[in-house]
Amino acid sequence: MEKDLTSVPRNDYHRPSLMERNSTTPISEWNDSIDGLEGGTSDHAIRCHLPSPKGTKVSPLTKYKPTKITRSRKTKRWSQLEEETRKTAVDKFGRGKWKLMLDSNKDIFKERTEVDLNDKWRSMTRYGCK
């Protein structure tokens, strides 16, 4: 079953849910969470990377494994105006008030979500760039 690729805006709230997107994805959400002792002196930054079970249960006949994760949105780089607005909004409302920023600048962030704002903020601060 193919999905429609008409670049649905994010209003379509059909969540494909990993399983639908990639049927070989193991349902390992909490079976091996190693983030145990974080209360206090958490000092382990190494996540165990278990071997991915990919390929262990794939029938040799069904070689057609469309891992195309049909993104619902096309990648769109942040414009200067958007970045400026976001920066100002963070100074004004504080970090984390993404919804508020969004509502206050609907026209500018027309195609962005709160998560996008958060993502942008993260990528901007991740490497020292303010």
Partner DNA sequence: CTGTAGGGATAGGGTTTA
Partner DNA sequence: TTAAACCCTATCCCTACA
> Which residue ranges make up the site for DNA (CB under 7 A)?
10, 15-18, 21-22, 25, 29, 32, 36, 47, 66-69, 71-78, 95-100, 112-116, 118-120, 122-124, 126-127, 129
* Closest approach of a copy of itself to the CB of residue 60, in Å: 24
Write the DSSP string, 83-101: HHHHHHHHHHH-TT-HHHH
Binds 125: which of a copy of itself, DNA, none (CB < 5-8 Å by kind): a copy of itself
Kindly state the tokens that stand for 67: 């891992």
Q: How far apart are CA 15 and CA 25, in angstroms?
A: 16
Contact yes or no for 101/89 (Cβ under 8 A): yes
Q: Which of 92, 23, 17, 85 is nearest to 116 (CA)?
A: 85
Binds 88: which of a copy of itself, DNA, none (CB < 5-8 Å by kind): none
Number of H helices, E strands in the chain: 4, 0
Which residues inside 25-64 make contact with a copy of itself, applying CB under 8 A? Answer: 27, 29-30, 32-43, 45
Q: Which residues bind a copy of itself (CB under 8 A)?
A: 1-3, 10-11, 17, 27, 29-30, 32-43, 45, 68, 70-71, 76-81, 83, 90-91, 94-97, 99-100, 110-111, 122, 124-127, 129-130
